[in-house]
Structures are given as structure tokens and as C-alpha cells.
Amino acid sequence: MNALPESCVSAILSFVSPANVCRLSLVSSTFLSAADSDIIWARFLPSDHADIVFRSAAPVEFSSKKELFLWLCQRPLLIDGGRKSFKLERSSGAVSYVLSARELSINWSDDPAHWIWKTLPESRFKEVAELRTIDRLQIEGSIKTNALSPNTLYGTHLIFKVSDRAFGLDLMPLETSIEMGSWVRQGTARLQHPDQKKRHLEGLMYANRLEMVRKHWEAEGDHRGGGGVPSERGDGWMEVEVGEFLVGSGGERDGEVRMSLREVKGYQLKGGLEVEGIEVRPKSLVQ
């Protein structure tokens, strides 16, 4: 390998993953020098990276493609007027997005009797949506598949918090849906209050109503069970999976992914949900 021109070594390294390029840079001085080449890191950056940087809400300063790649891996980049955030996965270069609450379609979100918009210091976005009270909850979002990485399995997650004053959120599961063209995957998800004692008390208070609604669902033939359970994130928020989908490399790259969460059958009042957005992030690459 030491006999090959550096440009040739760089071209070879561009066919491995970013993580492997970093490992190979430790092998020899030839690899180390080639590993800084723009030839490599331009391949790891998404094809629309120049447009992404242009859409940034704040200046992005870099002197090389490698520096830009690492910058986009280390922190979320706010784009489109601060309504979305963009990031790259360091090991693979796969793209991820967070659609802010303002970027989502939330029923009655423009009515302060049902939702209020507020600022939280722990949010990456200027505003988050807080549910005051509503009986029919619907949250929907969408993203173009050509904005995502090809040959990648993606997961979508609602990013949220449950306030101390929350009520009615976990009495019935949310119905979830992921749609790509004619392909549809449905499931359920739960918005559990972190206070187990409060969840138990709500269960006792609404036991009769829960049983009545459960029988109604069974009569309609809706047997979706289980569902996603919330987990804590490292940024102080919670998340629950809406579903997953595969972005290939063919014609589906020109489509759109639509994701939704709904609870419209229970008709009980609910409140105290704080929504930051929906994250669309890679789960694995498909060979």
C-alpha cells in the first residue's frame, strides 16, 4: 500500500465506513495522510450537504470535508428557520432529523384552550407544545425519503415529557401508523407518567371506563396489543417509538414517509403532554 499514490489510497478508503477510516489511519503514515482527504469525506457526507449548510439557522464554519462531517456528528444543526434539526451518525454517516412540534400537524394546536406554546431551556427548539386538555389527540408528521440515507432502516420516535399535572394520557394506548405510498404499518404506543403511584391511581379511577372501551375495541375487531413503551433519552426528554420503515435505493427514494399517533376512541380528557417533536433516526444499514 505504501507504493500507491495517496490519492489512490484515499479512493480505496472512501469505500469503507467513517469508523473504519479512523481505525485504518492508525495503521501507517500513508493511511493517516490519506484519511484526511476530501475525496473520502465528501463520499461520507450526504449529497445535499451544501444545501443543508445553506439552510442552517446559524453559520457553519469548516475548512475541510472531514471537519464538516465531524461538526455535523457532534451537535444537531438547526435548519429551516429552526423548525428542524439535522445530524449525522458518526459510525456510518447516516442522516437523522428531528421535526419540531411546529413542523408537525397537531389537532387544535392553534387553540390556547387546548394547547399552549412555550419555551423550555432543555429543548433544542424555540418552542414546544404543551397539551392543556383535549379528548381526541392526533399528532402527524412527514418527511421526504430522498432527504434520508439510502439502504437504511429508520425508526421514528415521539420526543415528549409528561408534566406533574398530567392526566388521562395512559388510559388508552395511542394508535400509531407509518405510511410510504401504499405501504402501511400500524401499531400502538403508550405515554406513561413517570410517577408509578399516579399511574396506579389513574388505573383505579378509570377501571370501569377502561374495561368498557376495551370491549368496544374488541367488538370492532381492533386487537392491536402491547405497543411501544417510553424510555428516557440522554437529553432530559422521553421517547416512544412510532414505528420503523426501510429506505431503499430505488424509486421509493422519491416518496414521502407519513407518521402519526392518535387516540380518538377513548373520548376521555387528557392533558399535561409536552411535545418537542418527532425524531427520524437510523437503526441499521441494509447491505
Listed by start position, the domains of the chain span 6-74, 80-282
Section 262-278 average pLDDT:
91
Predicted confidence band of residue 254 (pLDDT cuts 50, 70, 90):
confident
Q: Is the pLDDT of residue 22 over 90?
A: no
**Backbone phi and psi for residue 183, each to the nearest 5 degrees, phi listed first:** -85, 130
Distances (CA, A) of 138 to 50, 124, 185: 35, 23, 17
Pick the residue with more confidence: 225 or 132? 132
Predicted confidence band of residue 36 (pLDDT cuts 50, 70, 90):
confident
**Backbone phi and psi for residue 73, each to the nearest 5 degrees, phi listed first:** -85, -30
Q: Give me the half-sphere count of Cα atoms (radius 13 Å) on the Cβ side of residue 11.
A: 5
Instruction: Compute the distance between CA of residue 194 and CA of residue 232 in angstroms, rounded to an integer.
Output: 10
| The pLDDT value given to residue 268 | 84
Pick the residue with more confidence: 210 or 124? 124
C-alpha cell at 54: 445553506
Closest CA to 115 of 92, 136, 89: 136
Q: Cα 223 to chain center, whole Å?
A: 27
Instruction: Compute the distance between CA of residue 205 and CA of residue 257 in angstroms, rounded to an integer.
Output: 38
Q: Is the pLDDT of residue 225 over 50?
A: no
Pick the residue with more confidence: 282 or 5? 282
Q: Cα 7 to chain center, whole Å?
A: 37
Instruction: Compute the distance between CA of residue 124 and CA of residue 104 in angstroms, rounded to an integer.
Output: 16
| The pLDDT value given to residue 223 | 45
Q: How big is the chain by its Cα radius of gyration, in Å? A: 22
Q: Is the pLDDT of residue 148 over 50?
A: yes
Predicted confidence band of residue 64 (pLDDT cuts 50, 70, 90):
very high
Q: Is the pLDDT of residue 191 over 70?
A: yes
Whether residue 36 contacts residue 66, with contact meaning beta carbons closer than 8 Å, is answered with yes
Section 137-147 average pLDDT:
96
Three-class SS state of 176: strand
Which residues are paired to 6 by β-bridges? none
Section 67-74 average pLDDT:
93
Percent of the chain clearing pLDDT 70 (strictly above):
76
Low-confidence winner among 183-187, 190-194, 227-231 (lowest mean pLDDT):
190-194
The fold of 80-282 is: Jelly Rolls (2.60.120)
Three-class SS state of 27: coil
Whether residue 88 contacts residue 16, with contact meaning beta carbons closer than 8 Å, is answered with no
Section 158-168 average pLDDT:
92
Q: What is the pTM for the complete model shown?
A: 0.84
Section 12-29 average pLDDT:
68
Predicted confidence band of residue 17 (pLDDT cuts 50, 70, 90):
confident
Instruction: Compute the distance between CA of residue 173 and CA of residue 263 in angstroms, rounded to an integer.
Output: 7
For the chain, what is the total number of helices (H) and then of strands (E)? Answer: 8, 14
**Residues found in the chain:** 287
